[in-house]
Structure 1
Amino acid sequence: MYKQSGFTLIELMIVVVIVGILVTIAYPSYTSFVQKSRRGDAIASLADFRVEQEKWRANNISYTTSAADLGLSGSSKDGYYDMTIVSAGASTYQVTAAPTGVQSSDSCNTFSIDENGPDYSGGYADADCWER
């Protein structure tokens, strides 16, 4: 007697269905996790802007509106956010980090800081988003 070994088509299809269900459940969780981890790029870049603005203000009469004056670029370190100095004056400034590219679908949207720290007003990212 010869015994055949291997998988039947039904067994193979059951495995494919199970893998499909697992992927359907896991992929949204994975993308959410990736977006949360990329928020650290905005937070770290905003911290750099804050430090550099304070250094600039210590040596000048006001904050600057130019990222080049601070030695920084218009994008975050990893490139997931566009950095903009919205306003700057003698005693105040505001810097925003707007998501771009693959990060633009993040629910937290735009992060903002001012001279006092994170700015949660005006539709900017709330405290939960800052916690990553």
Structure 2
Amino acid sequence: MGYPRKEQGFTLIELLIVVAIIGIVAAIAYPSYQEYAERTRRVDAQGVLMEMAAAMERYYASNNSYEGAADGGSDTGSPAIFADEAPLESNPKYYDLTIEAADAMTYTLRATPKGIQAGDGRLELDSTGVRRWDSDDDGFEASENTWDQ
């Protein structure tokens, strides 16, 4: 005589526990992932601003002035000498790029967040190399004169 075979498999309670654990891990991991993605897009915009500054220097070398580097030969607005959105190689675009207050000897480049990146604060780079990140979108403060935040 044989013993009755025990059924193999998972109970409903065991499956519910596994699903609950996966849900808890996902609830913890997703915000961290979102923060990482936001920071990555910001760093990409910083790199694009550096490339745009190099384009401004090339423009200056040819024209002995930064004036006229924006669309339509103006001094402020979307750049005529560089792309007007970042990132450069992929879609969607997360930052609008502009030239602010270019004159013969100085300029300020700005990356303004848009789309899902909106609210992350403006990035700026000026002709003297000063880097600013208005992380809270309330105007630049002394503590925001860096990209290292």
Shorter-chain TM-score above 0.5:
yes
Match for residue 74 of structure 1?
A: 84
Could you tell me which runs of 5 or more consecutive residues in structure 2 were left unpaired when the two chains were aligned: 72-78
Higher Cα Rg, which structure:
2
Over the matched positions of the two proteins, sequence identity in percent amounts to 39
TM-score (norm 2): 0.75
Deviation, 1:103, is: 1.7
1:47 to 46, 50, 54: 50
SS in 2 for 1:88: coil
Contact 1:65 1:86 in 2 (8 A): no
Deviation, 1:131, is: 3.6
Match for residue 9 of structure 1?
A: 12
Equivalent AA in structure 1 for residue 46 of structure 2: I
Match for residue 144 of structure 2?
A: 126
SS in 2 for 1:89: coil
More displaced stretch, 14-23 vs 96-105? 96-105
More displaced stretch, 52-61 vs 114-123? 114-123
Match for residue 109 of structure 2?
A: 95
Q: For 1:26 and 1:127, how far apart are their aligned partners in 2?
A: 31
Aligned length: 127
Could you tell me which runs of 5 or more consecutive residues in structure 1 were left unpaired when the two chains were aligned: none
Deviations 1:60-100, CA, capped at 9 Å, x for gaps: 132023322x2x12101142211011120011111100111
Deviation, 1:102, is: 2.1
Deviations 1:20-70, CA, capped at 9 Å, x for gaps: 1111111111111111111122111101110111111112132023322x2
Contact 1:41 1:81 in 2 (8 A): no
Deviations 1:90-115, CA, capped at 9 Å, x for gaps: 11111100111222243xx1100110
Equivalent AA in structure 2 for residue 43 of structure 1: Q
SS in 1 for 2:85: coil
2:26 to 19, 23, 34: 23
Deviations 1:6-27, CA, capped at 9 Å, x for gaps: 1111111111111111111111
Is 1:113 aligned to residue 125 of structure 2? yes
Equivalent AA in structure 2 for residue 119 of structure 1: R
TM-score (norm 1): 0.84
Stretches of 4+ moved more than 4 A in 1?
none
Deviation, 1:127, is: 5.6
Match for residue 65 of structure 1?
A: 70
